[in-house]
């Protein structure tokens, strides 16, 4: 546990300086989660993740991989297919004490109409002049995890990530940041800590103002300027435990506490110093071949039109099956609302690959 606390204390000065010049929200697409297993458990993964998806959830978890290689793929569509979310990852062993992983994410809205040239020179509408562009966010994560020689059982990891965001030809940004992670088992309990954007992730935005200056001037909008945006650090502390019932059944319970330090947020616990957003997940397994999953998270206070407030939360469900070296996972997940139209069906695949025996 001392190793986990050290990571928090070491980053406090950097967090304080980042808050002085940073917006409240940035790079939020990196908070969606990856893999149908994790999404079905409401993102409660930091302490218990033990496969290739650890490159996203907690890089220290890569050390739990027992296969020579692991590959994960996911495709999701949100808001009736308007937004596309894709994820791919690869992980392998470096040696007996260190593992390596690579992850790629894309969240985008494609085929957005550009109607700047809808009217021709004579003032008539010409639909052939409509052009289309994409607003897309990309992230590339290089993960490294290593077992520490002290504090028996302590595993640490880090991500170096590159962010690229673009809105057609109108604007784009490059960003760079670092995530830190740790896991440790104490008897039957598993503990984990992830610090995202530990040093602050800096996005440098470049705007092609010449493309919009005429229209923005006519409509009274502010002409965008080049700027630097900083993603503030966040921390997630997780705890989990696996229970066995006979030889066939198991129950994995996991709780994550998501901590933000940028003032009060609309979450379950909030103070001026820290806001705490809990996620809870369960996974029931049969012979480690078939799984049923449940998660609860995203608790918020909703203000109604009459001024009263009520609490809401996001339920998630899912299942998984392992067929030889292939894991097929499914999640039914909401986007922060109880409306049926916003539920999404998400599938992901994970492949366990081992070298042929010589």
Q: Mean per-residue pLDDT for 61-85? A: 91
Q: Span 270-299, mean pLDDT?
A: 92
> Do residues 192 and 185 lie in contact, with contact meaning Cβ atoms separated by under 8 Å?
no
- What is the distance in angstroms between the CA of the first residue and the CA of the last residue of the chain? 41
Residues shown for the chain: 358
Task: Count Cα neighbours of 208 within 13 Å in the Cβ-side half-sphere.
Answer: 8
Contact 311, 301 (CB under 8 A): yes
Structure confidence at residue 230 (pLDDT): 87
CA distance 179 to 157: 8
Q: Does the pLDDT of residue 197 top 80, yes or no?
A: yes
Q: What is the pLDDT of residue 92?
A: 96
Q: What is the pLDDT of residues 2-13, one digit of tens each?
A: 444 444 444 444
Give tens-digit pLDDT for 90-119: 999 999 899 999 999 999 999 888 887 788
- pLDDT, position 2: 42
Domain ranges of the chain: 2-353
| CATH architecture type of domain 2-353 | Beta Barrel (2.40)
Considering the entire predicted model, what is its pTM?
0.85
Convert the pLDDT of each residue in 308-318 to its tens digit. 777 778 889 99
Residue-wise pLDDT for 256-268, tens only, equals: 999 998 888 888 8
**What is the rounded CA–CA span in Å between residue 214 and residue 272?**
43
């Amino acid at each position: 546990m001392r190793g986990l606390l050290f990571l928090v204390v070491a980053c406090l000065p950097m967090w304080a300086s980042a808050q002085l010049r940073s917006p409240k929200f940035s790079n939020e697409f990196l908070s969606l989660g990856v893999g149908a297993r994790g999404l079905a458990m409401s993102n409660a993964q930091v302490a218990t993740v033990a496969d290739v998806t650890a490159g996203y959830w907690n890089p220290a978890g890569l050390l739990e991989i027992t296969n020579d290689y692991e590959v994960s793929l996911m495709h999701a569509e949100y808001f009736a297919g308007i937004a596309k979310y894709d994820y791919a990852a690869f992980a392998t062993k470096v040696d007996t004490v260190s593992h390596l992983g690579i992850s790629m994410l894309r969240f985008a809205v494609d085929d957005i109409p550009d109607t700047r040239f809808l009217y021709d020179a004579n003032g008539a509408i010409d639909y052939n002049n409509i052009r289309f562009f994409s607003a897309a966010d990309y992230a590339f994560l290089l993960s490294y995890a290593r077992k520490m020689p002290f504090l028996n059982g302590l595993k640490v990891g880090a991500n170096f990530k590159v962010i690229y965001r673009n809105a057609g030809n109108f604007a784009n940004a490059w960003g760079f940041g670092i995530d830190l992670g740790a896991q440790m088992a104490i008897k039957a309990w598993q503990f984990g800590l992830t610090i995202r954007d530990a040093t602050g992730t800096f996005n440098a935005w470049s705007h092609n103002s010449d493309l919009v200056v005429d229209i923005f001037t006519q409509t009274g909008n502010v002409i965008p300027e080049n700027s630097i945006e900083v993603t503030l650090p966040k921390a997630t502390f997780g705890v989990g435990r696996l229970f066995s019932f006979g030889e066939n059944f198991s129950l994995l319970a996991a709780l994550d506490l998501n901590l933000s330090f940028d003032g009060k947020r609309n979450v379950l616990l909030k103070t001026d110093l820290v806001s705490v957003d809990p996620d809870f997940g369960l996974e029931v397994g049969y012979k480690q071949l078939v799984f049923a999953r449940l998660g609860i998270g995203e608790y918020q206070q909703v203000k109604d039109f009459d001024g009263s407030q009520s609490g809401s939360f996001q339920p998630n469900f899912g299942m998984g099956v392992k067929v030889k070296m292939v894991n097929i996972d499914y999640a039914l997940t909401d986007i922060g609302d109880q409306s049926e139209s916003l539920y999404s069906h998400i599938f992901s695949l994970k492949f366990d690959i081992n070298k042929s025996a010589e």
